[in-house]
Structure 1
Amino acid sequence: MLARLRLLLFAAIGGALTGAISFSFLKGLDWATRTRVAHAWLLWLLPLVGLAVGAVYHYWGGHAKGGTPYVIEQGHIFTHGVPSRMAPMIWGGSVLGHLAGASVGREGAALQMAGSATDTAARLGRLSNVDRRTLVIASLAGGWGGVFAVPFTGVAFALQMTRKHRWRALLPSIVSAFTAKWAVDALGYSMSARPHLPALSLSWSLPFKLLLAGAAFGLLARVFVWALHLVKRRMGHWVKWPPARPIIGAAATIGLAALVGRGYLGLSTPLLNQAFAGLHVHWYEPLLKLVFTLIALGTGFVGGEVLPLFVMGGTLGGAIAPGLSVSGPLLATTGSVAAFSSAAGVVLTGLVLSVEQFGWNALLPAVIVGVGAHLAAGKPGLYVTHH
């Protein structure tokens, strides 16, 4: 009993640390985005930022180079634990990348910071490897609760990604997720509002249209995962010195931005908000966001894949909605989640996320779209681990 209470205490400590780091991270990203938009010349610093990030990870990264898949792996089979350096490295690398315009996300960074902070506390507390493994699983829930304010989604994600030990980690995951969210709320950060879908007006053709849209989101996710691994492999083969790879990605990003504009840099949340609002979305917007993100993540910039996938799926939903004669906000909201959940193979997490973000009216369309996306995406590979 005392051992169980101790585990929950460290889950709460890890959640509080995750919430504090998430608050500073969200504030840092907001500052970086405002500053980049106000000072367009910062884009020209992207090669220098890429070199700095690439060099730090190459020479001092250690296991931190494994990123989110390494954190998940430690929840499966605990070996070395999550290094303390991972949190400051991903914090600094992500904020600097956003400041200069790299198209990366934030949720992957949150999972790494949560795992690093939680496992560091557990190591200092001299917990056993079994308990540390459980807390690493719980930290995945804390990352979602802290940076995205969706604790139920965090719990579902943690249990889906680490199935072998999930029931032992259930209660610690709940504690970590809600503690992280409460910490961010207590520190005064306000998350951007998400639209709540109205009650669905069913017709005989709507389920088929939603399935078709889901297949489109799944194919998008499949192409993204395949292309991301391909770019990483090719860059590793062609460019032997890792710090040089982000320089190449930065040059490509600058050139592409000069051709098509700067709306695809950073988080690109205005594109997603326009799709959620039902405004017109061009067919090429999800494709361009995909290309910008492949360039950034494939060449060595750090951050996350989740929010870029949200933007890709949301804008694709907005683009195909008129052709399917379906509500734009309906396909944008369900598509944003389906693109991520099908890429990661976490359909249940996607359903929980849909309800937590967009209300209970999103559940039925999310189920239909999610099934279509999952079937089209095939075997997921977003978070590839050795185990």
Structure 2
Amino acid sequence: MGKIKEQAQWIVFGLIIGIIVGVLEVIFGRVLLFVTGVRQTYFMWLIFFLPFVGIFIEWLYQTYGKESKKGITLLFEVGQDTREVIPLRLIPIVTLSTWLTHLFGGSAGREGVAIQIGGTFTNWFTEKIWNRFLPNYGKKQQVVLVTGMAAGFAGLFHTPIAATFFAMEILVVGTLSIESLLSASIAAVTSSYVSQLLGLTVFSSTISVVPKLTVGLVGILCLFGIVFGLVGRLFSIGLKKVKQWVQAISLSQYKKVFLLSIVLMIGLIIVGKGRYSGLGSNLVEAAFNQGTVYSYDFILKLIFTIFTLAIGFQGGEVTPLFSIGATCGVLLANLFGLPIEFVASLGFVSVFSSATNTIIGPLFIAGEIFGFELIPYAFFAIVLAYLVNGNDSIYSKQKV
């Protein structure tokens, strides 16, 4: 009877977290879509303010953010029991900073922010409200955190299965937080449903042409997986190295941010006139809708995203990783004479798998976004991408 009561409490907890985080993600996502539209319309005006926005974000974190600048690292510290509380101010600060980054032309994502929103709110809710009624929940910080992260991911991407397993496997490589499964899955499904109910639109695509799975094709899929894995690894290593380089520059933080933002601004203007700003959704749409995709799109998006985040602008890495993988997939599809959408979808999930050092979440993303008939094909590419990444990850605190 005690076990049933505990499970019922986790179900209620997951429902509450799913509803509230779902609403928060809708607000974050809808404003982000709005500022993206504004940037696309007025790019050549807004981009010139990017260095000043960089200074403002730096000031915001130094003045009010305190520990919040550690971002998603705080979630890993809680999940690994090296800290207990995530400051609630992280949510408004990272949200505003991400909106500004996208409005004024930075190249960044959103999913990392969504996970921070979900994890931070759930941590606060548990500490300040839930524990008053059920004090034992404070002893299960990892379950609480995974529940919030799953809700955050699902609320923005509408992929509740992938969100659940991604949140369960992200903290420690090669392990699943099985104890979190019930509350995380309830929260993810609820958050996704609330987000859809409130009208947040997300990307999805049904792959219309899927080749017959043969021994020869399996070999090609494995080759693709190696390429995608190396691209994901390049992103992870590049982000780490460029952050170290920026940190080592012997200038004041404000001067550093301002000068590097000018370099970023000039690059974004000269190379593509904003093509590589924002999420990379334009590149994903081009990859899956027979648009123009250049052979160098994936590497330029990789470079600009790394540089944007290393300077100190905010946003996630995941959506840019999707666009990097999809455009790299278009290049490989043309080289091997395979259907473009098919290979682009494999790149979409495999580069993400490599860069995040995860495997189950990306596999379910393939199913939930592109159709579950893709999973047997995605399996080979994702597994190889995961194996060749050398345990390099965009998450510096991820346990190996």
| The two structures share one fold, judged by TM-score above 0.5 | yes
* Distance in 2, Cα, partners of 1:176 & 1:63: 27
The unaligned stretches of length 5 or more in structure 1 are none
* Distance in 2, Cα, partners of 1:248 & 1:100: 16
Structure 1 residues 66 and 8: alpha-carbon distance in aligned structure 2, compared to 1, 3 A threshold:
farther
- Once the two structures are TM-superposed, the CA of residue 141 in structure 1 deviates from its matched residue by 0.8
Residue 365, structure 1, aligned to residue 382, structure 2: no
- Once the two structures are TM-superposed, the CA of residue 386 in structure 1 deviates from its matched residue by 7.1
Residue 268, structure 1, aligned to residue 251, structure 2: no
- Once the two structures are TM-superposed, the CA of residue 29 in structure 1 deviates from its matched residue by 0.8
Residue 50, structure 1, aligned to residue 50, structure 2: no
Amino acid aligned to 1:135:
V
Structure 1 residues 239 and 114: alpha-carbon distance in aligned structure 2, compared to 1, 3 A threshold:
farther
- Once the two structures are TM-superposed, the CA of residue 98 in structure 1 deviates from its matched residue by 0.4
| Preserved contact between residue 169 and residue 176 of structure 2 (Cα < 8 Å) | no
Alignment of 1:26-105 (within 5 A): 26-40=29-43, 41-77=45-81, 79-105=83-109
- Once the two structures are TM-superposed, the CA of residue 306 in structure 1 deviates from its matched residue by 0.3
Residue 135, structure 1, aligned to residue 147, structure 2: no
| Preserved contact between residue 104 and residue 303 of structure 1 (Cα < 8 Å) | yes
- Aligned partner of 2:202 among 185, 191, 195: 191
Q: TM-score, normalised by structure 1?
A: 0.94
Q: Aligned to 1:382, what secondary structure does the other structure show? A: coil
Structure 1 residues 227 and 190: alpha-carbon distance in aligned structure 2, compared to 1, 3 A threshold:
closer
- 2:162 maps to 153
Structure 1 residues 29 and 239: alpha-carbon distance in aligned structure 2, compared to 1, 3 A threshold:
farther
Report the aligned-residue RMSD: 1.9
- Once the two structures are TM-superposed, the CA of residue 204 in structure 1 deviates from its matched residue by 4.1
The unaligned stretches of length 5 or more in structure 2 are none
- Aligned partner of 2:26 among 20, 23, 27: 23
- Once the two structures are TM-superposed, the CA of residue 203 in structure 1 deviates from its matched residue by 4.2
* Distance in 2, Cα, partners of 1:134 & 1:165: 11
- 2:187 maps to 176
* Distance in 2, Cα, partners of 1:80 & 1:21: 22
* Distance in 2, Cα, partners of 1:197 & 1:72: 39
Amino acid aligned to 2:365:
L
Identity level (%):
28
1:45-98 per-position Cα deviation (integer Å, ceiling 9, x unaligned): 111111111121223223322212321331221523222111111111111110
Alignment of 1:248-259 (within 5 A): 248-259=259-270
Amino acid aligned to 2:119:
G
| Preserved contact between residue 354 and residue 363 of structure 1 (Cα < 8 Å) | yes
